[in-house]
Amino acid sequence: MENDEPAIMPAHSELDVELPHNAVVVPGGKAAWNTSANIGRLRRVPLREVWQHEALGFTTWLQKNIDILNDILGLTLTDVRREQAVGSFSVDLVAETGDGGTVVIENQLEKSDHLGKLITYLAAFDAKVAVWIVAEPRQEHVRAVSWLNESRSTSFYLLKVEAAQIDDSRPAPFLTLIVGPSAESQEVGETKRELAERHHLRHRFWSELLNRARAKTTLHSTISPSYYNWIGTSSGKRGLNYNYAVRQHDAYVELYIDRGSERENLEIFHSLEARKSEIEQAFGDTLEWQELDGKRACRIGKIIRLGGYKDESKWPGLHDKMIEAMIHLEQALRTHIRQLPL
């Protein structure tokens, strides 16, 4: 036999044949081929040993072997051109996708540090796809490319290039996709945009409410607009706050009770609840009395169903109703809160 691989076979004593020279008898009368002879050693090769010049070496190789990149990215890149000028810069490769879109490709046989250039190329060529191939991707650039992929306007691919050889074979380059666009990253981006829009709307909602409130009451006159769904001020007793709150399509005003102890909060709540009829008569309407199961706090308030922060056309009337309800709530509770033994 010509190879040196181990093979399991009967021992010489069981079968009167001559064992191949590469068979090894093992306990139990078995023999096996020696496997090491046909397995080579993989060695990483420094990229500068493969391509001494980045532009003339690696970029030229990639231009001629663009199918390798297509296989990894699942793209169909064609019409690959080298060294396209962008002002004082020059992008390594420009290609087209199957639907005619422009792709810019930037190569670095070193640590990543050309993100600014790549974004410049994207803008200059009005490209929708960017491919960045580097020897060593920095973690901050991995995070940056992941963040850029949260946008639906451009797709960013960051790849690591390496080279290896088996024994004395010719070196072979291989590319690894580190980060690229995905449905998940775009969903994250959409969620972030929705949150940003929500925060912006709520900030404007509170700004306009507080401006209108200052003409009618000083209760929240020292409060600044918030990005959250509520703003509040103290009743004069620690842990008892008068809050405005807003949701997408409704709002409410409340006395929020939280002094840090569930027991104490409930005692205060039940003390005020014992005067429920008197308080609601002073308020001029029924109120919501909530012990908030699963939470330490309690609240007494009124829901206003005239709209929320997404109903911008209804804001003026909603603000007036919220301010009116807050004034009446504070007046209805003022004396009873003062009488609490806190």
Q: What is the pLDDT of residues 179-210, one digit of tens each?
A: 988 777 667 656 666 778 889 999 999 999 99
Distance in angstroms (rounded) separating the CA atoms of residues 144 and 115: 9
Region of residue 318 (left: phi > 0; alpha: psi -120 to 50; beta: else): alpha
What is the per-residue pLDDT for 188? 66
* pLDDT exceeds 50 at position 327: yes
What is the per-residue pLDDT for 186? 62
Model confidence pLDDT, tens digit, residues 233-287: 999 999 999 999 999 999 999 999 999 999 999 999 999 999 999 999 999 999 9
Give helix 115-125 / helix 139-148 axis angle, nearest 10°. Answer: 30
What is the per-residue pLDDT for 9? 41
User: What SS3 state is found at 309?
Assistant: coil
* pLDDT exceeds 50 at position 173: yes
Model confidence pLDDT, tens digit, residues 287-305: 999 998 888 999 999 999 9
Domain boundaries defined on the chain? 9-39, 47-181, 192-338
Buried b (16+ CB within 10 A) or exposed e, 259-282: beeeeebbbbbeebeebeeebbeb
Strand partners, 324: none
Q: Which residue's entry shows tokens 């399991």?
A: 8
* pLDDT exceeds 80 at position 10: no
What is the per-residue pLDDT for 25? 46
| Residue 21's pLDDT band (cuts 50, 70, 90) | very low
Distance in angstroms (rounded) separating the CA atoms of residues 83 and 89: 9
User: What SS3 state is found at 73?
Assistant: helix
| Residue 159's pLDDT band (cuts 50, 70, 90) | very high
CATH number of 192-338: 3.30.1460
Distances 271 to 7, 29, 54, 109, 157 between C-alpha atoms, Å: 89, 91, 79, 74, 63
Cα angle 29, 40, 177; round to 5: 125
* pLDDT exceeds 80 at position 30: no
Higher pLDDT, 13 or 336: 336
DSSP letter at 151?
Answer: S
The count of other CB atoms within 10 Å of the CB of residue 177 is 13
Q: Do domains 47-181 and 192-338 have the same CATH topology?
A: no
Distances 304 to 147, 234, 240 between C-alpha atoms, Å: 39, 21, 21
Pair 109, 54: CB distance under 8 Å: yes
Q: Yes or no: is domain 47-181 CATH 3.40.605.10?
A: no
Q: Which residue's entry shows tokens 């639906």?
A: 152
Model confidence pLDDT, tens digit, residues 64-80: 999 999 999 998 999 99
Residue 61 tokens, joined: 């190789």
Q: Which helix (H) or strand (E) holds 124?
A: helix 115-125
